[in-house]
Amino acid sequence: MSNLAKSRKFFSGIVPVLAFFALWEIGANYVPNGLISRPSRVFVAMAREFAGGELFRQTGISLSRILLGFSVAAVGGIVFGFALGTFFRRMERFFLPFFQVCEKLNPFAIIPVFMILFGVGTLEKAAVVFWASFWPVLFNTQFAAKAVDPQLMLAARSMGANRAELFAGVILPYTMPGIFTGLKLAVRVAFFMIIASEVIGASTGLGWFYVRSSALYKLDLMYGSILYITLLSILANFIFERLEKHFMSWKEDAFS
């Protein structure tokens, strides 16, 4: 992509964001006091929280919970997805109906169950993140593994490839797009669920920070925490998109 094209892409993405904040700043003049805070005040209030270290501390707590739950969900989802979609199809007939039922359970409804099982703390929050993040990774990996072209598998076997070589040379490369689709969906869900779990029965974390701001009627921090959490989720998704491009560079080279 040329520099001109990159510049156009950047400005086409940043202009709507700037327009949103400009309209918000102007529109706040026409809204009764106590309903909405100006973005300029939001940024100043959040900067104070950063400077004081409180927002850094709460961010670290929430991110550690997300990392714990998401990493276990990613590893488990990928392993089970490959197992169900490749060489262990008998496992699919046994486990898949059970997993499909579990996936349909509302994660918000089972937060109290995790609180009973694990107590109120980091383990409970990580368990909630794990539960919600596991299913997108599992099902996207399984679907992608099952969708590998059988002709490629047959060709690799005809050349004497064993299971390990078949997996590393054929199945894994062609399953990577599906895996990253599941990971990107899962990381969005992870941020959503960590806030939900920290809103209920927590004294730390970004969800608690938002609830405290709301309870104290600090509108600047309330709106700021919403924007901040959204920004973190977008950043995490961007990281996975960059990782996907890195690991999928072989595909671009093959078709260029």
Full pLDDT tens readout for the chain, 256 residues: 556 566 666 566 677 878 888 888 888 788 777 778 888 899 999 999 988 888 999 999 999 999 999 999 999 999 999 888 877 767 777 888 888 888 888 888 888 889 888 888 889 999 999 999 999 999 999 999 888 877 877 787 777 777 777 877 888 888 899 999 999 999 999 998 999 899 887 788 999 999 999 888 889 999 999 899 989 988 998 888 888 887 776 555 444 4
- The answer to whether the beta carbons of residues 135 and 103 sit under 8 Å apart is yes
Distances (CA, A) of 29 to 24, 35, 214, 221, 227: 9, 11, 21, 19, 20
Q: How many residues are listed for the chain in this entry?
A: 256
DSSP H helices, 200-248, are 206-215, 219-247
- The answer to whether the beta carbons of residues 187 and 130 sit under 8 Å apart is no
Separation between Cα atoms, residue 61 and residue 65, nearest integer Å: 6
The amino acid that residue 1 corresponds to is M
CATH topology classification for 39-255: MetI-like fold (1.10.3720)
- The answer to whether the beta carbons of residues 170 and 153 sit under 8 Å apart is yes
Quote the tokens at residue 107.
Answer: 């994660």
Separation between Cα atoms, residue 174 and residue 167, nearest integer Å: 10
The domain limits of the chain are 1-36, 39-255
CB within 8 Å of 114: residues ≥ 6 apart: 124, 127, 128, 131, 197
State the pTM of this model.
0.84
Quote the tokens at residue 133.
Answer: 């993040």
